[in-house]
Structure 1
Amino acid sequence: CGLTAMSVSASEPLKAYPATLPGLHRHVIQLPVLTNEDDQQVELLIGKEEQVDCNATSLMGTLTSETVQGWGYDYYQVDIKPGRISTKMACINQTLQK
C-alpha cells in the first residue's frame, strides 16, 4: 500500500507517520526544542521487565529504521523474538528480581 500525505499542520505532527499496525504498539517520544540540536544525541534503551534469576539475560530481536515515503522522516520498528539469551550460572538462593 502507498502512503500519501498532502500537508501536516503543527497540531497534527504524527499524521505523516503510519498508523499502528495490528499486533504492534506505537510509542511516541517528544523531545523539547533545544539550541544546537545537531550537537545532541538520543539514546534508546529497548527492553522489557521480567522476573529473572541471577543469570545475565538479553532479549533477541531486530531494530529496523524505516522512512516515511514522500516525507523523508525516519521511524524505528522493534521486533522482539520469543525467549531470551541467558548465562547458565547456578543461582544459589533462587530469588527472582526485576
Structure 2
Amino acid sequence: MKAVAFKQTGLFLVALLCLSSIAMGQSSITKTDLSIYPKPEKGFKQMVIEVPYSDKDTNKKIEFTVGKWIQVDACNKHGLQGTLEKKDLQGWGYNYYIFKTEGNVISTQMACLDKKTVRQFISAQPEMVRYNGKLPIVIYVPEEYDVQFKIYKAEEDIYQASEVKQ
C-alpha cells in the first residue's frame, strides 16, 4: 500500500514540476527593471533581449532582426521594408529601438515554376550591437512582428594583416 501511495505522490510531484516548468517557459522573466522604458505606443509591443553576463562580453556581438512569419514562394529571396530608429532613454544613458514598417515585402523576381510556397521569417536589415550581459536590448515593434537574434563570438586569437609592398 505504501509503494502505491509513494508512486502516486512521485507522479504528482513530477507532473507539478512539469507544469511549473511550462508556465515559467511561457512567462517573461527579466533581470532588469523595464519600467524605466516607455510603454509601447498603441499597435506596438515591447520586446527585450537579455543575455547572460560573462567576463568575455567584449568578445561578443548581438545581431538582431525584426520580422514576421509569412507564406512566400520558395524560389525568391524576400525582405521586409522598414526602419529601425535608435533612441536615447533620457536621463539613463541607455538606448532602445523602435521599428516602423508599412509591412511591404520586397523580393527577387524569379519565375517560380513549381508554385511551391513556404512559411518563412521575413526580416528587415539586421542590426549589430555590442553584447552587454548587464543591460537589456529593448525593441518596440508592431504587434504582429517578432525579434530574432544571434550571438557572435570572436576568437581569442589576434591576427596580423600583411603589408603589400608597392
TM-score (norm 1): 0.80
Distance between the aligned counterparts of 2:32 and 2:78, measured in 1?
40
1:14 aligns with one of 34, 42, 45: 34
Query: Which residue is 1:46 aligned to?
Result: 66
Counterpart check, 1:96 vs 2:117: yes
Whole-Å separation in 2 of the counterparts to 1:47 and 1:21: 18
With a CA cutoff of 8 Å and minimum separation of 6, indicate the structure with the bigger relative contact order: 2
Counterpart CA distance in 2 for 1:69 and 1:49 is: 33
Equivalent residue, structure 2, for 1:5: none
Instruction: State the structure with more CA Rg.
Output: 2
CA gap of 1:12–1:47, structure 2 versus 1, over 3 A, is closer
Q: State the Cα deviation string for residues 23-69 of structure 1 (Å, max 9, x = none).
A: 10111111111113233211102221111112211110101110111
Gaps of 5+ in 2: 1-30, 120-166
More strand by share: 2
Structure 1 residue runs of 4+, over 6 Å off? Answer: none
Give the stretch that moved more between structures: 34-43 or 19-28. 34-43
Task: Give the distance between the partners of 2:101 and 2:89, measured in 1 at CA.
Answer: 22
Which residue is 1:72 aligned to?
93
Identify the residue that residue 20 of structure 2 maps to in structure 1: none
Distance in 2 of aligned mates of 1:40 and 1:86: 31
TM-score normalised according to structure 2 size:
0.49
Give the secondary-structure state (helix, strand or coil) at the position aligned to 2:58. Answer: helix
Identity %: 36
SS at match of 2:63: coil
